[in-house]
Structure 1
């Protein structure tokens, strides 16, 4: 074969592009031109991902440089991301924006993140000793009768709380009052003791000759469970004084209400729910002509749209006093009005002005009102909705039998029922309580929980107002509450006056609207301020008395 034929055969076998590449390299080497370096082309998507990773790395480095170093010491807020923890010694400036752990919690990748508000003190604010040194801090120093002080001693109650020290003298003077203090601070005795003293030592009105009984004092409460609890406390105090207490509530039929009202010829203290009392007033089973004191307990619940019309009807029947001097006339009985609560609805002053002169009210405000309780550990966990059941079951599994009682809060009654079935399937002993249960089934559930028959109660916000939960050491917000007011009331079920331990709370954060509330809570905690949007609940100005000073 000739050389030409061999060359043509090689060209036919080798691709044309490769031949050109070989010839080009031979020409460059013959001319002395160095061969170019190989170029690796990175895809555009890979280059963009690499740039994003570099930006994230630079942001983490910058955040670490700006973050306050978490040296060994006490923390105000503990985060899973250490750079976002805040030491207790750090105080944010007025215009300094806090770096929030919950800032990115609306993103789906934030699930699993958490932060925890640590205990700032071991003692509840209500149990703080009086500021004045050498002063008498007993109930007798507040002007209470020795017989009433002896009844308190029998219940092992010897030292008044801060709310009681400054509320009792004002109410003994006969003033209309709005008492605003944090949950678990002893507000029940703060209004109950002046009420009982007036009945014990005050002038007795003329015997009522009408067909319906007329109580001398009335305490209006939003739930039957709370009415039963206050009746238990009032009965223990009234028995040594010779006073009579009766309690009426809905769900038992009007026959039961009539028997309670007619059991005694004269009635000193009546505890009632709005629905049952209004039905009794309409049927003329009871009258309020001789009422000397009316207490609205848990005002934020009583004055919501569910009970508002009923409460207005009760206020219309009561002969409210115009001045404290009116209470001294036994021939013309007038009523002292006391409004008590930890939170208050908007427009309270407008409502009260319909029935009395708002200028005669004195407002008693606690320093810790609307603030996060500093003696309770509070943890917030960002979690998917489908994982809440497993988290709760794991929490129950790791708890020891000596860990105290557990309250699990849900927002709706169907959720309570569904979660109760889940716990039954896992052989977890518990009780459940919600407002849609029949009265016969609902009766006695909370008292059984208080006595320790079961250590777990699954409930709605029905159990978050006023009830004595001194056994409870852990709160679980299975559903995050709808409002900041509900959050304060739920967390206030632990660390109460009479509790052995401060307790803690765990909240599962699931929905975007939950994150909005958590951001407000975290901001208030980092700034050490009260929760936003709650100081305007009493919107008209009233004569204000700070509970840190002796009320005059």
Structure 2
């Protein structure tokens, strides 16, 4: 069984790969890393740091949980004077206030030894709140982290100026780039992304930084697909939660809609299963602190939508349950990436409830990609396919009573076992 990057032993001195110091980072940032108890750089950090320190714009693509946040923060943060109270030198655009808070905490820890100010800008309140966030002490943020809506409103009201911006990292791109250094970061890159980016920036000048595991199922994470009828999903989930040992780590339960999150939460309340809920229809006040509380371990079960599937650090999670099977392969890959991350104590597992015909179609594609040792289909081919690819024409078959064949998990052979009303596809442990 391949070890998760997060649970591998750190390389010994003189081992493979440079240290953070050997990558040329300044002493103040090295001190910040020490405060975060971070040792050696991961693969994407070794790729990205030298290129971004040279000022290259980049498409930075690596599997989820591989350490992309530090990959772009470390080379772009500079121990120097701030630009001004509303004119930052660096901007990170993030899709949610929860992710902005998380990345902000990491950036603040890195910047503290260098005396750099980090500021977060998120919406959910009156316009005066945006002005207060930008003017709050300490003055002159060197780095601003914001959500698209809040940044758009701050720019519209002229609370924020970007004329002194030196670099920008985008999760969602909807503003002009000019000569700003651009870093596009993600764990999945849908097909056509390059053409979309070309509409507002010169993609030809980008250097592509991509790890070999991009768009592939994490080989160290157990994947299980349970074929059952919709009415059986709730009993299956309750049994799974009640049988799970208290030492089994945290659990993420994904639903496809806010209404399902709320409904499932009421059922868990009835069964006295302590949990938290997170979905996009909640008010800013309700969402504030929910994910932080989950990360701290106050509650070990989080019922959520895909709001919690992208970017957020979930190193304490050891089980992901797809109560609703995701709509796209990208969503599946992001959900699966919540386990087996850098910093995780165990590889973890993903259990998916398969109820609809269209769910089975996606499972077939997942199985085929795993068998051929390739990335999931429908995404930009940023990295080259593995030379060890194995071809197969044996499809996933959802006909009851038929034993399907195939592999899930791209690191070693897997076992497919058919049992009454359930199909379990999991990695072998021999």
2:79 paired residue number: 200
Q: Does the 8 Å CA contact 1:248/1:276 hold for their aligned counterparts?
A: yes
Question: Deviations along 1:224-246, whole A, 9 cap, x unmatched?
Answer: 10000001111111111000000
Question: Deviations along 1:320-365, whole A, 9 cap, x unmatched?
Answer: 32xxxxxxxxxxxxx2111000112343333333333222111111
1:240 paired to 2:85:
no
Aligned length: 383
- The SS at the match of 2:79 is helix
Q: Does the 8 Å CA contact 2:4/2:341 hold for their aligned counterparts?
A: no
Q: Does the 8 Å CA contact 2:10/2:39 hold for their aligned counterparts?
A: no
- RMSD of equivalent CA atoms: 2.2
Q: 1:189 aligns with which of 38, 57, 70?
A: 70
Q: CA 1:458–1:134 in structure 2 vs 1: closer, same or farther (change >3 Å)?
A: closer
- The SS at the match of 1:222 is coil
2:132 paired residue number: 259
Deviation at 1:533, TM superposition (A): 2.0
2:97 paired residue number: 224
Q: Distance in 2 between matches of 1:355 and 1:508?
A: 40
Deviation at 1:123, TM superposition (A): 2.7
1:415 paired residue number: 260
Q: Does the 8 Å CA contact 1:126/1:162 hold for their aligned counterparts?
A: no
Q: Distance in 1 between matches of 2:66 and 2:259?
A: 32
1:479 paired to 2:360:
no
Deviation at 1:503, TM superposition (A): 0.4
- The SS at the match of 1:394 is helix
Question: Deviations along 1:354-396, whole A, 9 cap, x unmatched?
Answer: 3332221111111011111100001001000000000000011
- The SS at the match of 1:239 is helix
Q: Distance in 1 between matches of 2:157 and 2:7?
A: 42
- The SS at the match of 2:114 is coil
Q: CA 1:134–1:409 in structure 2 vs 1: closer, same or farther (change >3 Å)?
A: closer
2:57 paired residue number: 176
Q: Distance in 1 between matches of 2:76 and 2:104?
A: 14
Q: Does the 8 Å CA contact 1:362/1:545 hold for their aligned counterparts?
A: no
Deviation at 1:124, TM superposition (A): 2.9
* Unmatched 5+ stretches in structure 2: 386-430
What TM-score comes out, normalization by structure 2 length? 0.85
- The SS at the match of 2:113 is coil
Q: Distance in 2 between matches of 1:475 and 1:512?
A: 22
2:211 paired residue number: 366
1:144 paired to 2:25:
yes
In terms of Rg, which structure is larger? 1
Q: Distance in 2 between matches of 1:378 and 1:193?
A: 33
Q: CA 1:419–1:446 in structure 2 vs 1: closer, same or farther (change >3 Å)?
A: same
2:188 paired residue number: 343
Deviation at 1:265, TM superposition (A): 3.8
Q: Does the 8 Å CA contact 1:429/1:454 hold for their aligned counterparts?
A: yes
Q: Distance in 2 between matches of 1:164 and 1:545?
A: 19
* Unmatched 5+ stretches in structure 1: 1-119, 303-310, 322-334, 539-543, 547-552
Q: Does the 8 Å CA contact 2:221/2:350 hold for their aligned counterparts?
A: yes
Greater share of helix residues, 1 or 2? 1
2:415 paired residue number: none
Question: Deviations along 1:508-539, whole A, 9 cap, x unmatched?
Answer: 00000000001111122222222122235x7x
